[in-house]
Structure formats: structure tokens, C-alpha cells
């Protein structure tokens, strides 16, 4: 199956924000930290038509920055994202409506002063996908499609629960008739029972509309539930990528193994038996460790790891791992 979305060598740096005091101090020759933060470095992947690629990593690893570049919201510092060969951004501007985004916090992403019927139809009207005269009917159809009463089109966001607002956010994204959806932690702010409802809605609409998706989450079980393939991200780079069954069933990167070990598994008597939090903390992207960025936390680290950064090496089974010792089996 051919790739629809291709990300090539994506990199994103952020310049530090200097206060007036810092700038004055720098002008007088004082040492002020001016190094850019490398949030994402040299990330490449492809997503095939109809496929969902899950992107997992700890908070602060760069996955949302990567998602925003794929969605055409944030220009990369280097590299390119393309949809069937066409770049999704030209300069700072998005070139396509084929990619839409669903964010974590629907309350923050919905205009509190706009009725939700208008929120859903605004983009499609502006892009000529629906006539202004038919906007309310159009919005009502989408509300119904995401499981809400069409009569609520005249309400404001604060009149909805968190789960209902996320349904509105999904309707707004899909009303633009995208064939690619970037979901950035779409259920992280919801109660567990509501999460399941929203995930089921996502799966149902994905199948019905044939969507290609990038699904970002820190929650391994959520990603496993919805993804065909999974990419594991650590400190701005992908360290392992492969089919969901292979990455979850036989992880090869020590970070992936540590992430999976950190998920509580329940015995019949409901006692967690394999919960093992990952040692240490994610290093600052301002001062990434030399060699393999995971080495300060890795139980298998050797001198080679401390010296040389491992490249992402692709195997015959379509998976790729960035670890000098990936072939040496799992940690006992
Ligand atoms: Fe651990 Fe070395 Fe592999 Fe990095 S390269 S994950 S430090 S074994």
C-alpha cells in the first residue's frame, strides 16, 4: 500500500525566550543561555493509506511538536512533510485542508463565544465546501454523526461536558472532509469511561471515512487499541518503529521495554505485579547526553553507548530500532 504522508528529516528548534534583563546582561557581556532547544531532530517516517501510526513517548519528548509539524500548524526548522508528494506547508502557511487536527483540550480549542453549529460550519463555509445558507443543516448532520443531538447546534462550548466537547472537536475536524487526521492526546483530559466512548467513535469514523491517522498519546494502552504501527519517541528522536503487534509483543529498544514495564498489569486479584517505573528523568533537550540519549537511564548502557549515538537501523521486517545492543535480546 502506498504512503500518503511522508515526513523526511524533520527537525524543529526553538530559540530561547530572553527577558529584557537577559538581553541587557548579554549586551554587557554576561553569559546568558542562548542555545536553541532541539525539540525534534531528524525524524522520518511514512504513513500508508488507511493506516494509523501511533506515536508514544513521555511528556516533553517532542511528540506534540512533531504532530504539529505533520498537521501543517508549525513550520519545521529542517525537513519536510508531504501528502502524496505535495508539501503541507509553504513558508509558514498550510497548503492543504486534507489534514485536520483534534487536540487534547477541546475547551481550549473551541471558541467560547461561538455557537458550536457555527464552529463546525465555519471552515467548510470559508473553503466553499458548503453554502452559507445550508451551514446550520450541515452542522446538525455532523453533530448527529458524532452522537450528539442536532438541536444543540445553538449552544456554546461551556454548556457541554468534556466528552461532548471532544465530539464537537471531532465533528469540526471531519467537517472539513480531510482524509488525514492528526490526533494529539485526544482522550487524555477525559474520564476513563468517556475515553472508551471517544476512542470507539474515532474507530467507527476512521473506518467509515477511510482516514489515515497519526495518533499521539503518552498512554500505551490507548495507542495499542487504535494503531496499526507504533513509533516510540525519546528526546526528540524516534528510537523504535514497527507494527503494533511486534513493538508491543517483542520490543527491542530498552526504552520501549521500560515503557511497557511501567504499565501496571493486573493479576486476577487486581494487584499490579509488573509495575516498574522508568529510572531517572527525561534529560533536558537543552543539554542532551552524549552518545545514546537514553544511556543515563539504560540498564544495558556500555562505553560505546556513552560515546556514539546509535542510528535508526531498519530491519527486513519493516521495523527499525536505534540501539547498539538491540540484537542482544530482552532485559531479564
Ligand atoms: Fe541502552 Fe546503549 Fe541501546 Fe542506548 S544504545 S538504548 S544506552 S543499550
Residue 39 has what pLDDT?
Answer: 94
pLDDT at 6 over 70: yes
Residue 332 has what pLDDT?
Answer: 38
Distance, in Å, from the CA atom of 312 to the CA atom of 144, rounded to the nearest integer, reads 45
Domain interval for residue 15: 3-98+178-239
Report pLDDT digits (tens) over 230-248.
Answer: 999 999 999 999 999 999 9
Residue 276 has what pLDDT?
Answer: 65
Q: Around Cβ 17, how many Cβ atoms within 10 Å? A: 6
pTM: 0.91
For ligand 1, pick from 255, 283, 294 the residue to mutate: most ligand atoms within 8 Å of CB.
294
Cell numbers standing for residue 163: 466528552
Residues near ligand 1 (Cβ within 6 A): 253-254, 292, 294-295, 298, 300-301, 305, 310, 323-325
Report pLDDT digits (tens) over 122-174.
Answer: 999 999 999 999 999 999 999 999 999 999 999 999 999 999 999 999 999 99
DSSP letter at 81?
E
* Phi, psi (deg, nearest 5) at residue 236: 90, 0
CA 256 – ligand 1 centroid, Å = 11
Going by pLDDT thresholds of 50, 70 and 90, the confidence category of residue 274 is: low
323, part of any domain: no
Residue 305 has what pLDDT?
Answer: 97
261, part of any domain: no
pLDDT at 316 over 90: no
Report pLDDT digits (tens) over 60-114.
Answer: 899 999 999 999 999 999 999 999 999 999 999 999 999 999 998 877 878 999 9
CA 300 – ligand 1 centroid, Å = 6
Q: How many domains does the chain have?
A: 1
Report pLDDT digits (tens) over 180-219.
Answer: 999 999 999 899 889 999 999 999 999 999 999 999 999 9
Residues 72, 99: contact at Cβ < 8 Å? Answer: yes
Residue 21 has what pLDDT?
Answer: 77
CA 299 – ligand 1 centroid, Å = 8
CA 313 – ligand 1 centroid, Å = 13
CA 163 – ligand 1 centroid, Å = 40
29, part of any domain: yes
Closest-lying ligand 1 atom to the alpha carbon of residue 255: 6
32, part of any domain: yes
pLDDT at 267 over 50: no
Residue with CA closest to ligand 1 atom 5:
323
Cell numbers standing for residue 185: 492526546
Residue 315 has what pLDDT?
Answer: 86
DSSP letter at 120?
H
Cell numbers standing for residue 115: 455557537
For residue 55, which of 228, 201, 294, 265 has the smallest C-alpha distance? 228
* Phi, psi (deg, nearest 5) at residue 7: -110, 125
Residue 141 has what pLDDT?
Answer: 97
Report pLDDT digits (tens) over 50-60.
Answer: 999 999 999 88
Q: Which residue bears the cell 520490543? A: 251
Closest-lying ligand 1 atom to the alpha carbon of residue 326: 3
Q: Which residue bears the cell 525539540? A: 39
82, part of any domain: yes
Q: CB-hemisphere CA count at 13 Å for 237? A: 19
CA 27 – ligand 1 centroid, Å = 42
Closest-lying ligand 1 atom to the alpha carbon of residue 324: 5
Distance, in Å, from the CA atom of 216 to the CA atom of 196, rounded to the nearest integer, reads 16
Closest-lying ligand 1 atom to the alpha carbon of residue 298: 1
192, part of any domain: yes
CA 239 – ligand 1 centroid, Å = 10
21, part of any domain: yes
For residue 216, which of 85, 102, 56 has the smallest C-alpha distance? 56
Distance, in Å, from the CA atom of 306 to the CA atom of 323, rounded to the nearest integer, reads 12
164, part of any domain: no
Task: Provide the CATH number for the domain around residue 26.
Answer: 3.40.50.300
Distance, in Å, from the CA atom of 58 to the CA atom of 36, rounded to the nearest integer, reads 21
Closest-lying ligand 1 atom to the alpha carbon of residue 301: 7
Amino acid at each position: 500500500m502506498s504512503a500518503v504522508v511522508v515526513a523526511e528529516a524533520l527537525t524543529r528548534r526553538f530559540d530561547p525566550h530572553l527577558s529584557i534583563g537577559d538581553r541587557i546582561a548579554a549586551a554587557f557581556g554576561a553569559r546568558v543561555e542562548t542555545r536553541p532547544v532541539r525539540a525534534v531532530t531528524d525524524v522520518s517516517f511514512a504513513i500508508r493509506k488507511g493506516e494509523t501510526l501511533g506515536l508514544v513517548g513521555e511528556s516533553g519528548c517532542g511528540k506534540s511538536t512533531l504532530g504539529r509539524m505533520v498537521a501543517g500548524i508549525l513550520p519545521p526548522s529542517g525537513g519536510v512533510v508531504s501528502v502524496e508528494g505535495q508539501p503541507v506547508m509553504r513558508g509558514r502557511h498550510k497548503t492543504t485542508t486534507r489534514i485536520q487536527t483534534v487536540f487534547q483540550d477541546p475547551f481550549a480549542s473551541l471558541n467560547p463565544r461561538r455557537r458550536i453549529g457555527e464552529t463546525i460550519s465555519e471552515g467548510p463555509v470559508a473553503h466553499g465546501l458548503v453554502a452559507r445558507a445550508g451551514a446550520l443543516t450541515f452542522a446538525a448532520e455532523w453533530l448527529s454523526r458524532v452522537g450528539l443531538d442536532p438541536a444543540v447546534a445553538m449552544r456554546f462550548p461551556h454548556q457541554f461536558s468534556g466528552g461532548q466537547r471532544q465530539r464537537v472537536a471531532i465533528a469540526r475536524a471531519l467537517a472539513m472532509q480531510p482524509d488525514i487526521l492528526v490526533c494529539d492526546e485526544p482522550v487524555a483530559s477525559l474520564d476513563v469511561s468517556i475515553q472508551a466512548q471517544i476512542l470507539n467513535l474515532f474507530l467507527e469514523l476512521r473506518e467509515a471515512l477511510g482516514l489515515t491517522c497519526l495518533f499521539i498519546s503518552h498512554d500505551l494502552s490507548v495507542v495499542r487499541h487504535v494503531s496499526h504501527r507504533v513509533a516510540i519517541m525519546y528526546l526528540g528522536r524516534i528510537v523504535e518503529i514497527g507494527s503494533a503487534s511486534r513493538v508491543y509483543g517483542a520490543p527491542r529498544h530498552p526504552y520501549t521495554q521500560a515503557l511497557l514495564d511501567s504499565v501496571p498489569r493486573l493479576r486476577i486479584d487486581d494487584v499490579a505485579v509488573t509495575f516498574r517505573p522508568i529510572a531517572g528523568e527525561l534529560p533536558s533537550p537543552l543539554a542532551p547526553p552524549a552518545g545514546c540519549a537514553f544511556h543515563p537511564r539504560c540498564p544495558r548502557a556500555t562505553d560505546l553507548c556513552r560515546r556514539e549515538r546509535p542510528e535508526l537501523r531498519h530491519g527486513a521486517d519493516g521495523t527499525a530500532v536505534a540501539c547498539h545492543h538491540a540484537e542482544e535480546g530482552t532485559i531479564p
